[in-house]
């Protein structure tokens, strides 16, 4: 087992004394003092991965009270870099786990997987490297680290009577469900830059920029120990900014441990907000032992409410700051954001794999498409963050109004009975439809599906219709405009 990420160690974090969230109310005078003291960036301490080049202190906007990564767009917020725990070094790479050749032991696996392994909000593991590629050597290491992170999240959930698992992008390996690890090569200059932005931009350019993804980056470099994006949003709501992506958590090769990975991923999932009962004022907590807690500034006083160091590999040891599967009524976590509710986690024991999304294999077409939009958006497999999605492709018909349609065509007949439709509404020229229906091709004409459960019209969510099972090569979404033109962001079709 690699050294613990927290616990009996002194973290070298000068910057943490300068960072505090403005979202929520500081729980201590020290937290308020640190927030008020933000003036300039600390000097870099490259030997310990405390690199602030490319970060800016923000007082307004989405990153108010945090650092902003200056070289990326749209705005990306972070609490800043974390120094290595005792026993680890930014300049010394973690060894790969031994290979399993010649053994008859059962292969590691995730205890719970969900769905088809790709659909929906998921955490995607990336191995990021330059000219030197150690993917084959470390693939098993990264899989096991991701699985160990899942153990941390689920064992912590069990302590409050629940179950939570990281919803990874998964694949079947030797009959077992395991996290996918992407092999991502970027320019050496971006990999080793004394600034996170060049690497982020290179990874985004490679296609890892989906709004339904959190990216856990294992970076083959010696710049940081760990750093992660952090929203600092305290609202107890499905549209909390911690419930969407893209967002990135980074661990460099000197800190390839489950504790570091869980810590940085924890930040991207919303831990720890500054108005939590035991908040440090710098996106961490002070009641040890805990994955997210440590002395992150000289004026921070730690409390050992959970004296067993075994909790150093668990979330929210006292279950009152950021992670509880069933918080008591009136408690902080019943009122404010709770990481256990994050939409990138599987609640309970997962679900039976659903029928595959047949829309993914269809060819889309439409009555009309605005020149700056794309009908390919309706079945690209990306779950929208909201009806006014400004990041991913959209299908819209502005300035046309009246009767419009989009349809899916398959090369062979498909048996279908469920459709999920996500409407495009930018609160401007494209609005929710006045009405809509589903029509299927019967070989000579389009006819309305029978037995439809109803046609809901709601923003910021999928609108589901079930109907009598039928076989067809074409399914059409027919829309009648209301306050403006109409459009769609995504359509799913299952049997």
pLDDT recorded at residue 100: 58
* Cα→Cα distances 147→153, 178, 311, Å: 10, 8, 18
Verify cis geometry, omega within 30 degrees of 0, for the bond prior to 246. Answer: yes
Are 119 and 360 in contact by the 8 Å Cβ rule? The answer is no
In a domain, 404, yes or no: yes
Answer yes or no: do 319 and 419 share one domain.
Answer: no
Answer yes or no: do 35 and 177 share one domain.
Answer: yes
Answer yes or no: do 142 and 30 share one domain.
Answer: yes
Instruction: List all residues 6 or more positions away from 443 whose beta carbon is below 8 Å from its beta carbon.
Output: none
Which range marks the domain in which residue 165 is found? 15-347
Query: Kindly report the CA angle at 363 between 358 and 364, in degrees rounded to 5?
Result: 100
* Residue where one domain finishes, among candidates 325, 347, 369: 347
pLDDT recorded at residue 22: 33
Are 250 and 141 in contact by the 8 Å Cβ rule? The answer is no
In a domain, 95, yes or no: yes
Instruction: Give the separation between CA 72 and CA 148, rounded to whole angstroms.
Output: 31
pLDDT recorded at residue 3: 36
HSE toward the beta carbon, residue 145, CA cutoff 13 A: 30
Answer yes or no: do 325 and 369 share one domain.
Answer: no
Instruction: Give the separation between CA 260 and CA 145, rounded to whole angstroms.
Output: 10
Answer yes or no: do 322 and 430 share one domain.
Answer: no
Instruction: Give the separation between CA 356 and CA 492, rounded to whole angstroms.
Output: 9
In a domain, 306, yes or no: yes
Instruction: List all residues 6 or more positions away from 33 whose beta carbon is below 8 Å from its beta carbon.
Output: 299
Answer yes or no: do 64 and 191 share one domain.
Answer: yes
Domains: count for the chain: 2
Answer yes or no: do 326 and 410 share one domain.
Answer: no
Name the DSSP class of 341: G
3-state DSSP assignment of residue 250 = strand
| Sequential pLDDT tens for the chain (495 residues) | 333 444 333 333 333 333 333 333 334 444 444 443 345 788 899 999 999 999 999 988 889 888 999 999 999 999 999 989 889 999 999 999 886 554 444 557 899 998 889 999 999 999 999 999 999 999 999 999 999 999 999 999 999 999 999 999 999 888 889 999 999 999 999 999 999 999 999 999 999 999 999 999 999 999 999 999 999 999 999 999 999 999 999 999 999 999 999 999 999 999 999 999 999 988 999 999 999 998 887 788 999 988 788 788 899 999 999 999 999 999 999 999 999 999 999 997 655 455 688 999 999 999 999 999 999 999 999 989 899 999 899 999 999 999 999 999 999 999 999 999 999 999 999 999 999 999 999 999 999 999 998 999 999 999 999 899 999 999 999 999 999 999 999 999 988
Instruction: List all residues 6 or more positions away from 143 whose beta carbon is below 8 Å from its beta carbon.
Output: 108, 125, 173, 178, 179, 181
pLDDT recorded at residue 444: 95
SS (H, E, C) 378-411: HHCCCCCCCCCCCCCCCEECCCCCCEEEEEEEEE
Are 224 and 49 in contact by the 8 Å Cβ rule? The answer is yes
In a domain, 9, yes or no: no
Answer yes or no: do 135 and 191 share one domain.
Answer: yes
Rg (CA), the chain: 24
pLDDT recorded at residue 16: 37
247-252 and 213-219 strand pairing: parallel
Answer yes or no: do 373 and 333 share one domain.
Answer: no
């Amino acid at each position: 087992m690699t050294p613990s990420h927290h616990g009996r160690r002194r973290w070298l974090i000068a910057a943490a004394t300068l960072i505090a969230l403005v979202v929520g109310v500081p729980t201590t005078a020290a937290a308020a003092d640190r927030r008020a003291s933000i003036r300039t960036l600390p000097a870099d301490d490259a030997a310990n991965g405390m690199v602030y080049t490319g970060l800016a202190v923000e007082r307004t906007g989405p990153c108010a009270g945090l650092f902003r990564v200056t070289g990326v767009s749209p705005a990306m917020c972070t609490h800043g870099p974390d120094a290595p725990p005792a026993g680890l070094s930014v300049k010394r790479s973690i060894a790969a786990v031994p290979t399993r050749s010649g053994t008859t032991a059962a292969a590691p696996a995730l205890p719970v997987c969900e769905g088809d392994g790709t659909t929906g909000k998921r955490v995607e593991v990336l191995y990021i490297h330059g000219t030197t590629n150690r993917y084959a050597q470390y693939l098993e290491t990264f899989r096991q680290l991701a699985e160990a992170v899942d153990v941390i999240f689920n064992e912590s959930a069990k302590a409050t009577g629940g179950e939570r698992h990281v919803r990874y992008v998964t694949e079947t390996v030797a009959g077992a469900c395991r996290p996918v690890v992407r092999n991502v090569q970027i320019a050496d200059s971006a990999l080793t830059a004394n600034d996170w932005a060049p690497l982020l931009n290179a990874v985004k350019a490679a296609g890892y920029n989906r709004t339904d993804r959190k990216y856990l980056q294992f970076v083959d470099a010696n710049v940081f120990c760990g750093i992660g994006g952090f929203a600092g949003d305290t609202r107890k709501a499905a549209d909390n900014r911690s419930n969407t992506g893209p967002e990135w958590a980074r661990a460099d090769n000197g800190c390839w441990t489950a504790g570091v990975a869980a810590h940085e991923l924890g930040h991207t999932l919303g831990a720890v907000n500054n108005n939590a009962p035991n908040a440090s004022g710098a996106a961490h907590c002070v009641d040890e032992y805990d994955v997210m807690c440590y002395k992150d500034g000289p004026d921070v006083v730690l409390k050992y409410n959970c004296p067993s160091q075994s909790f150093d590999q668990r979330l929210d040891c006292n279950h009152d700051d950021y992670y509880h599967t069933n918080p008591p009524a009136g408690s902080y976590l019943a009122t404010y954001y709770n990481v256990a509710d994050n939409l990138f986690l599987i609640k309970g024991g997962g679900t039976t794999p659903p029928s595959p999304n047949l829309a993914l294999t269809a060819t889309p077409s439409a009555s009309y498409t605005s020149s700056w939009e794309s009908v390919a958006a309706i079945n690209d497999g990306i779950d929208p963050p909201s009806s006014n999605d400004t990041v991913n492709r959209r299908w819209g018909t502005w300035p046309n109004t009246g009767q419009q349609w989009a349809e899916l065509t398959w090369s062979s007949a498909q048996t279908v009975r469920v459709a999920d439709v996500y409407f495009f509404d930018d609160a401007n020229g494209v609005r929710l439809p006045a009405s809509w229906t589903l029509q299927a091709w019967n070989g000579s004409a389009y006819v309305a599906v029978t037995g439809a459960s109803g046609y809901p019209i709601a923003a910021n969510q999928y609108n589901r219709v079930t109907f009598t099972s039928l076989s067809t090569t074409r399914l059409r979404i027919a829309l009648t405009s209301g306050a403006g033109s109409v459009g769609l962001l995504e359509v799913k079709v299952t049997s």
